[in-house]
Amino acid sequence: MDNIHQILNAAPSEGDVLATIIDVDGSAYRKEGTTMLIKHDTTVGILSGGCLEEDVRLRAEELKPGESVSITYNLKSEDDLDWGQGAGCNGSITVLLEKIDFTYYLNLKKLQKQLIQGQSIRLIKKLTSVYQVTDYAFIGDKHMFWGKGEKDFFNSLIGMDTHHPYNGLRYIEELSTHYYFQWFHPKPRLIIVGAGPDAIPLSQFASRTGFGVTVIDWRPALCNKEKFPDADEVVTGFPSEIFLDYQFQAHDFAVLMTHHFERDREFLHYLLEKNLRYIGMVGTKERARRLLGTNQLPPNLYTPVGLKIGAEGPEEIAISILAELIQLNRISVKTKVEAVI
C-alpha cells in the first residue's frame, strides 16, 4: 500500500524533512516512491531494513527550509565498511531529502484532501543534474495541478507525458532535464460486515496494512469503537437502515462474516446491488448458492474468502483474507494507471 497515507496522517509540518527513494539500481529492500517523514523527535516510515535511516536523519538536520539534496547509497557490497552489510540487497538507492517549507506544507494538505475524496494524484519534480528539486507539481483529474515553480515549468507539463505509469526518475531529452514521477492513490477501503470475534483481527491487520476500515453490524454490544479501535468507522443497524444513505464506492472491498444465515442473505443482496469490485464471504460456495437461491455466483463474489494457505483460527484467516485483498488491490491499481495512459 502507499505509505503516503501514514506520512500524511502524521501531520508533516514546516521544518520536517521528507526522504523519498527516487531511484533503485538493482535490488533493494524498498522501491521508488517509498517515503520517510523525519520530525524533530521521531520518524514515520522506513526506507530500508534499518541500515540507512540514521544516516538519512543526520543529513536531514543540515537542510534549511525549502532546500533539498539527493544521496546515493551503495548496497551492493557485503564489506563491513559498506552500506550493504546485513542489508540483504544487491543494488544502490538514491534518496531525495526535502525540508518542508510553508508552501510545501500547504501543498501536502491539499494532496491529503484530494486522496480522501478518492482522487489519484501524480507528482512531478523537476531536478538539477545532482537531483535537487527546482520545481514540482501535483496533478489531478482534468489537468488540475498545483505546486511550486515558474510559469514555464507549469506550461511544460501540458505537453509532457505526465501519465508515466511507474514511480522513478526520467530524463526528458527534448527538455534536457531530469524529472521524478510518482503516483499517489486513495487508501483502499475494507467494509467488514459482522462484528464477531473473528472480525477483530481482520480489522486490526487491515488497518495496519493501509486499508481504511469500516465495521458494520446490527448489534451495538459487538459493534463499537471499544472492540474495534483500529476501525475508521463503526456503523450499527439493519441492512435496510444502513444502506439507505451509506456511500459506497466501486473500488471498495467488502467481507461478509456475520455467521447468521438470514442476516447474511440480507446484507449480501444489498452489497451485490452496489456492484463492488470485491465481496468476500466466509463459508462454502454451496452456502452462497443457498443464500442467493441460484447456482450462478456473481464474478465479484469470492467464497470461500481468502487465499488458500490452510489458515486456521481468526488470526490466520484474517491474514489469508488480507493476502487476497492486497493481491487484488495491486492488480487494480496497475490496471487503473495503465488505463489512464
Euclidean distance between CA atoms 204 and 206, whole angstroms:
6
Query: Coil, strand or helix: which one is 85?
Result: coil
Q: Where are the alpha helices (DSSP H) in the chain?
A: 4-9, 53-60, 102-116, 151-158, 199-208, 239-242, 261-273, 285-292, 313-340
Taking only Cα atoms into account, the Rg of the chain, rounded to an integer number of angstroms, comes to 23
The amino acid present at 282, given as its one-letter code, is V
The amino acid present at 316, given as its one-letter code, is E
Euclidean distance between CA atoms 262 and 248, whole angstroms:
22
As given in the structure block, the three cell numbers for residue 243 are 444502506
Euclidean distance between CA atoms 87 and 61, whole angstroms:
24
All CATH 3.40.50.720 domain ranges in the chain, comma separated? 189-337
Euclidean distance between CA atoms 197 and 192, whole angstroms:
12
pLDDT in tens, 37-73: 999 889 999 898 777 889 999 999 999 999 999 999 9
Would you state the pLDDT for residue 81? 47
Q: Per residue of the chain (341 residues), what is the pLDDT tens digit?
A: 568 998 998 999 999 999 999 999 887 778 899 999 999 889 999 898 777 889 999 999 999 999 999 999 987 655 444 544 444 556 789 999 999 999 999 999 999 999 988 888 999 999 999 999 999 999 987 678 899 998 888 888 776 665 666 789 999 888 889 999 999 988 889 999 999 999 999 999 999 888 999 999 999 999 999 999 999 999 999 988 888 888 888 789 999 999 999 999 999 999 999 889 999 999 899 999 999 999 999 999 999 999 999 999 999 999 999 999 999 987 765 555 444 44
Q: Kind of pairing, strands 35-38 and 43-44?
A: antiparallel
Euclidean distance between CA atoms 268 and 283, whole angstroms:
13
137 CB neighbour count, 10 Å cutoff: 20
- Give the pTM: 0.77
As given in the structure block, the three cell numbers for residue 221 are 454490544
Euclidean distance between CA atoms 182 and 20, whole angstroms:
10
| Residue partners of 262: CB distance under 8 A and separation at least 6 | none
Would you state the pLDDT for residue 304? 93
Would you state the pLDDT for residue 161? 63
Name the residue among 119, 170, 159, 158 with its Cα closest to residue 141: 119
Query: CATH code for 189-337?
Result: 3.40.50.720
Q: Are 77 and 84 contacting, i.e. CB atoms less than 8 angstroms apart? A: yes
Q: Kind of pairing, strands 68-74 and 145-148?
A: unpaired
